[in-house]
Structure formats: structure tokens, C-alpha cells
A and B are shown apart, each in its own frame.
Chain A
Amino acid sequence: MNIQSNRIAGYLCGAVALAGILLGPVRATAATDANAGTWRMIVLTGPDQIYVPPPAPVNDAGYQSELAAVKSAQASMTKAQRQAVDYWNQGGVFAWNQILHGLVASADLPPEPNADNTYSAPSAANPFAFPQFPFANPPYAARSYSYVAVATYEALKVAWHYKYLYNRPTPFNAGGGVQAISPQSDLPGYPSEDGVVSAVSQTLLSTLFPTQVAIINQKAAEQQQAAIQAGRATASDIAAGVELGKAVAAIFLTRAANDGLKAAGGTQAQWDALAAAAVARGETPWRSMETPPRPPMLPLYGQVKGWMMTPDDFLKERPGPPPSTSSSQMAKELADVKYAASHITRAQAATSYKWADGASSPTPPGHWNVIADTYLQSTDWSEVRMARALALLNMSQQDAAIGCWDTKFAYFNPRPAQLDRSLKTQIALPNFPAYESGHSTFSAAAAVVLTYLFPQGAAYFNAQRDEAALSRFYSGIHYKSDIDVGVTHGIAIGGYTVRFAQSDGADFSK
């Protein structure tokens, strides 16, 4: 009897452990951040900018039939639906960030050359034709991550405002026998955060990554269904959230259509002018080392609209010029990088590959999102606070992209392999000027923001930053000064985001 029951207990423990392994960690969202509706907005004027009508009361017959529908959906849940519930229980903000890594990586391929040695630009009007739209290079990725993150954050603050204005409970707190197959919480249900997050992500990502629209639509529908089956939303909670999300996403699509990206590719005349300006300064201008030569990557990206920095801020923070291409310092730096690349150790090569972030990758901003995800996963933060974290990180990454590209094309400085044709690189050579290092700028800005969010990780973030930055030296694609200046610049750029965060009404340390 004892042995028998012990054995059964053992099986049960094993089953529970196995379920834990299969289902993954369920994040317990303890904190609800009831005041998030008052947190400072970034693009919207305030939560009232979007109107969400009052919901039907709990005792309304229509709402009661919605609850019955939730119960029935829970009762008829398939295995696949149960897996979807567990997947989306980790939080829609987190899940969509993970989905975005894949979307960016899928689109991170440069156009191939045409037969006449020219390159066609990807076309948003005809995204499926080769070269497919978009080419999710690092600036495009930084911008995509930031739009999704900021729009989601703004929309969730609006949602939180109405949640606590109307205070309609989630189905599992509404009585009537709906199960909580979801982290327990007192967060009001209307409008649904799953509706908001899925609609913002779906609307923006369908425009940013149009060839992936089938996957995007499927994920959005899955999230909405999962929220209902988890017992945390009814159909009207979802519908109100979706409306809210779409309204906020529309504001961001308008901003995106006018933020300067469309002109950032430049024209032949503008590319020629950049080279002519460098020659006029007495410098060797950058040129593409690819065969056939490829136009530079988004040379006017420095003029794209930032999040936390104005055009004046970008100009103020722009570093001074690199060592002259004819200077003895540049000759020494060139010799140093050539020596490093041709004497690379296995450990240094591993670092170079780890941080290559080239074709088919989520790019450096995505790499820092992957790093952030690990920390986010270990928190008990509410969806709105998760969204804040990703918004802060990705605003810093977009501002870093703008600041870095502004610097690169202000100086149009050649890569080491251009100044010394015998220098061979250990990773693919990025097709834009050297000064300053993008990895260094992105990583320094990211480390500053992540250190603000997770002070306990400061040493790790800074170590990753230095590793990312130095990897570009080992692999032979950057001079040391590109890296040092990029890190300093990135720290300054990240500071703008942190100063906003310290006064946005959500700061823990206050």
C-alpha cells in the first residue's frame, strides 16, 4: 500500500516535472502596475487620445453568454490549443519580441546583383519579388523593433487607463466557473491586453515584414484565442483591445511613413556627393569592397526621426572626425587591425562569430533583445512594464542606429580592407563606412539601458558590450578608434533614454 502510493506519488512528481519541462516556465505576474495609465507617454498625448467605450456590466446577459462561451472553449480545448495557451501565458509582449527575432532574421539578406552589375532596391509595393522587401539590415531592424515596442507600450498604457477606469474583472475573476489557466492576477480584463498587443504587433509587422503576413496573422489569431481559453479575456475584452491596438498602431504607421526612412537609401548623386565631400576634406573616401560595388547601406539614415533625441541632440553628440586617412595614427591603426585579423586565436574567432550578426541574423539590435529576453523572462513584471522595458531598450537602439549612421556618413571613412587590399577579414565586411563601429554604438547604448532596468546585470552587460565591440577589431573590419568612439557615443545615446525612464512615473527606484 505504502510502496504503491509512493510509486504513484513518484509518477505524479515525474509527470509534473515533465509537464514543467514541456510547458516551460509560466511567468507569475504578481505586480499589476495599477497606475500605468498615468505613466508618461512618448508619442501619444495621453490615454484619452484613444476612446474605449464602457463595457457591458458583469451581470449583463450578453456578458454572461460570453463567459459561457469561455467555459465551453476551455472544456473543448485541444492539445494544440493548450500548448498555445501555455505559450501565450509567457506574455504577449515577450512572445512577439521572440517572433520579431525570426522576422528580422528571415528578411536580413542583401539584394543580389543583377546581370548588369547593378542592384535593385527592395520594393514595399512589390514585396515578394526578388530582392524581397525588406532587407532587414541593422538600421531597419532597430527601427522595426522600436516601432513595435513603443507602440505596444503606448497602447498598453491606454489599456491600463481604461482597465482601471471600468474595472471589469477578467473572466476567471468574474465568478461563474471560468478556470484560470493563466497566471493569477487582479488585473481588470477590459480591454484585453492580449487584444491590444496582438493588434499592435499584427498591424505594424504586416507593414514592416509584408512577406511574412501569413505567420503574423496566424500568431495574432492564436494569441486572441489563447487569451480566451486561458480564462483571462472574453470576446468583448479582445474586441475592445484589438480596436484600441489598431488605433494606436495607425498613429505609429503614420509616423513611420514620414520618419525619413523612405529617403534614407539616397540617390547616385547623393552617394557621389558623400565621396566628393571626403575628397574635398583631403580624405580617402569610403567605397564598396563588394563585386560588383554595392551602394552604401542607408546613407541618409542619420536623418531619420529619433525617439529620445532631436536632430540637434544627434548633432551635439556626433563624435569628432576619425584620424585622417593619410595620418600616421591611421597607418598604425591599420597595421594593428591587420595584425589582429591575421593572428586571430580560436577564442577570438568564436567571439567574432558570436557577434557577427550578419546575414540571416536578428542584427545587433536584435542580439541585444535576445539578451534582454533572458532577464525579462525572470521577472514577475506586468505586460505594461515588460513593454516599457522593450520600448526603452529599442528606443535606444533606434537612436543608436541614427546617431551611428549620421556619424558614418558624415565622415565616409574607408574600411581597413579598403586601405590595405591584402587585409583579409574573418567575417563578412559590412557595406558602409567604418567610423564609428555600429556594434560598439548599439551595444553601449543597450548596456546603459539594460543596466538601468536590471542593475544586477551591469557587469554582464558591460562585458558583453566590450566583447561585441572588440570582436569587430579581431575580425578585421574595424580600427580600434571606431570601437572606442562608438562605445562612448553609444553610452551618451543610451543616457537620453535612461533620463526619460527616470522621470516617466514608472521608475522603481523613485
Chain B
Amino acid sequence: MLQDTCVCTLRLRALALISASFLLAALAPAPASAQTIDDATMLPGRTLFSGYLYTHDSWDQYWEGTLKRVNGNLGTVSTQTSTIYVDYGVTDRINVIAKIPYVWTNSSQGVLAGQEGWQDLTLAAKIRIGGVKIPRAGKLNWYGAGVWTNPMRNYTPDFLPLSIGLDSMTRGVRSTLNLSTEAGLFFTGSGQYTWRENVTLDRDYYYTNNQFFLTSDVPMPRVVDYELSAGFAKKRRMARFDFNKLITQGGIDSGDIRRQDAPFPANRFIAARIGGTVMYPAPFVRGVDFRFEYSHVIDGRNVGQSNTFTVGIFKTLHFKKTP
């Protein structure tokens, strides 16, 4: 019974991780860390959970500010991401997580060269803060996380939408609430506030927000994201639907892409997505899980209307306590 719960929990976790992994690979393939630490489960102490994710994100329409359009010089913009993911249960209440993505970008039309490379390392610590039993409803748990990301090499954020990322160091705090019923239904709400360090361009000036700046230093507005999800998990299978919204902070009309201009790293990226995930255990192999996800941007500003597919495979290892 305990074993069963644990496996199920792991599967839930894997599901949530993948569903969230690359939600924001929109117009700008932004560091996706904000979304990865948002599930409602903990690894037991001395457990290693690691895996590989492949994500394919593409769009052929985007919002230039609020104007939705196509661009014949881009056609379809695709971003592929290959991610190594490691999560370790330090104790039953404290987990640490690391993630390393390699990103390729490409446009189907036009002359612009796609970019590729290691993007941003994510490190996070997640804590179960507490939980209460709610009669006839289930159990309500509260989780908190600190998330740090840093570019693994010096790539340019100044070639959007084909840059591999925004090249900004970020720090975020996340809070997650989860209600799970005995029958297997669960509801999760999660939100994160992210601070982003300034980025340095290779050029000495830029124009944004109706202003010319004689510097290469670009302040990056803060980001809020939240996610609401509901799912069902039973007998080592799981399905989940979610709604996610990313909101780059800033004034109402500031930070938009201008007509026929390229995106700028500090633009006000806003994206609302719906998505679903299914997960099931690998046949014949113990401790291995597969995961599939699809999500779609339903509304946005300064982002592409992405369709995103993710596949992942995960392995769980338990370490025995030393005597």
C-alpha cells in the first residue's frame, strides 16, 4: 500500500514536471524554470528521480503587441529542447532539483540562422510546509520552493525570436496548494514571483518603450506566473488538465513589440495556455515512467501562439539507509 502510494506520487510528480517544463517556450524561449517546481508531491528521503525530456514547440502566428499576425520571413518558428532532469529527496520534506536544457531554434522561411546551445541551469529547493486533513474532501498540502536559474554560457538574447533564451539570471519564490481526495482526484494551484537580473547586450544602445537608451544594460521586468490544474490518478495511470498564465510585469502599453519590429528581451511577454498530460509506467521495466504532454497558447501578447509537445522518460532509484 505504501509502495503503491509512493509510485503513484512519483508519477504525479513526473506528470506535473513535464506538463510544466516548457510552457513558456513561446516567442522567446524563456528560462522555463518557473514552471517546474510547481507540483504537489515530494520525493521520499534518499530517493533519486531523474530523466530526460524532449520538447517541440512551434508557432506560425504571433502577437505583435496585441496585433495577431503571421510573418513570411519566419514562417513557422520551432524550438526544440532536450533536458536532463535530476531531483533528489534529501528528506521526506526537502527536495532539491536541477535541470539542464539544450535548445535549438529554427525558422521555416526567410534567411535567418537558427541558434543552438546550452541554455539556463535551474536549481531549486522545495519544501513541504504543512498539511491538513479535510473531512469528506481529502488532504490539503502546502508547498514552497526557491528557484534559481543562470545561463550556462554567454549566448545572445538579442536575436529574438531565434535566440535560445533571454540570458538573464533569475530568482523566484513559489507557493503551491494541493487538494487530493481518497478516490484519486486532485486539484492544484501554484504561483511564482520571479526577479530577473539585467541582461547585457552586445550593442551599446537600444530602443524600447518609446525611449532610446545609450547603454548595453537592459533591466528585465519581473514575472508572475500561476497554474491551476485538476487531474485523476489511479492504478499507476494519470491524466491532468491545466491552465497556466505567464505575465511579465510592466505598464499597460509598455514593452510591446512595435509594428514590423523584432521582439526585445525586456518585452512584456504574456501567455495563457491550456494543456493536458498523460502518464503511465513502462511495461516490463520496474521504476520507469513515460510521460506525454500537449499544450496550446490560447491568448498572448508579444509571444507566439505555440503548440508544444513533450515526451519524457524517468527512472526512480531508492538508496538504502546506511546502518
> Hey, which bits of chain A sit against chain B, CB under 8 A?
98, 101-102, 105-106, 108-113, 130-131, 289-292, 341-342, 346, 349-356, 359-362, 370, 417, 423-429, 476
Contact = CB atoms under 8 A, between A and B. Distances in A.
A295 to B, nearest CB: 15
Interface string B83-95: 0000000000000
Residue of B109, B114, B208, B258 with most chain A CB atoms under a 10 A cut-off? B258
Interface string B192-222: 0000000001111111101110100000000
A362 B113 contact: no
A290 B113 CA distance: 14
A290 B202 contact: no
B210 A106 contact: yes
Nearest to A359: B261
B265 to A, nearest CB: 12
15 contacts: A98-B214, A105-B212, A131-B259, A290-B72, A290-B110, A341-B113, A342-B113, A353-B158, A359-B260, A361-B207, A362-B205, A362-B212, A370-B205, A423-B111, A427-B159
Interface of B: 69, 72-73, 75, 109-114, 154-156, 158-159, 201-208, 210-212, 214, 258-262
Give the secondary structure class of A's interface.
Answer: loop
B113 A356 contact: no
Contacts of B207: 102, 105-106, 108, 360-361
Interface centre among A109, A360, A426, A429 (most CB of B within 10 A): A360
A101 B206 CA distance: 10
A346 B115 CA distance: 11
Contacts of A108: 207
Contacts of A362: 205, 212
Contacts, number: 91
B111 A417 contact: yes
Contacts of A346: 154-155
Nearest to B210: A106
B259 A290 contact: no
Contacts of B156: 349-350, 353
A102 B211 contact: yes
A362 B69 CA distance: 26
B214 A425 contact: no
B73 A101 contact: no
B111 A289 contact: yes
A493 to B, nearest CB: 25
A111 B260 CA distance: 7
B205 A428 contact: no
B72 A109 contact: no
Q: Which of B69, B113, B156, B262 has the most CB of A within 10 A?
A: B113
Contacts of A102: 207, 211-212
Contacts of A106: 207, 210, 212
Which of B109, B205, B210, B258 has the largest number of chain A CB atoms within 10 A?
A: B205
A291 B205 contact: no
B22 to A, nearest CB: 24
Given A341-B113, A353-B156, A362-B205, 6 more contacts: A113-B72, A130-B259, A291-B75, A353-B159, A370-B205, A424-B112
A354 B258 contact: no
Given A291-B109, A417-B111, A349 B202 contact: yes
B110 A356 contact: no
A101 B159 contact: no
B76 to A, nearest CB: 13
Contact of A291 (B73, B201, B261): B73
Contacts of A427: 159
Given A109-B260, A112-B260, A428-B112, A353 B212 contact: no
Nearest to B154: A346
A428 B159 CA distance: 9
Residue from the set B75, B159, B202, B214 with the largest chain A CB neighbour count within 10 Å? B202
Given A109-B260, A110-B260, A353 B112 contact: no
A352 B203 CA distance: 9
Contact of A101 (B72, B155, B214, B259): B214
A354 B112 contact: no
B203 A353 contact: yes
Given A353-B156, A359-B262, A291 B211 contact: no
Given A105-B212, A109-B259, A110-B260, A360 B203 contact: no
A356 B203 contact: yes
Contacts of B259: 109, 112, 130-131
Contacts of B73: 290-291
B114 to A, nearest CB: 7
Contact of A109 (B75, B201, B214, B258): B258
A346 to B, nearest CB: 6
A477 to B, nearest CB: 9
Closest 4 CB pairs of A and B: A291-B72, A102-B212, A424-B113, A353-B202
A185 B208 CA distance: 38
A301 to B, nearest CB: 21
B146 to A, nearest CB: 31
A354 B113 CA distance: 17
Contacts of A113: 72
B212 A426 contact: no
Contacts of A417: 111
Contacts of A111: 260
Contacts of A105: 205, 207, 212
B300 to A, nearest CB: 19
A426 B110 CA distance: 12
Contacts of B72: 113, 290-292
A424 B114 contact: yes
Contacts of B203: 353-356, 361
Contacts of B204: 354, 370
A359 B261 CA distance: 6
A425 B202 contact: no
B154 A370 contact: no
Contact of B205 (A101, A110, A350): A101
Nearest to B111: A417
Contact of A429 (B111, B114, B210, B260): B111
Given A292-B72, A428-B262, A350 B113 contact: no
A113 B112 CA distance: 19
B258 A425 contact: no
Given A98-B214, A101-B214, A353-B156, A425 B111 contact: yes
A424 B260 contact: no
A271 to B, nearest CB: 19
A370 B260 contact: no
A476 to B, nearest CB: 7
Contacts of A361: 203, 205, 207
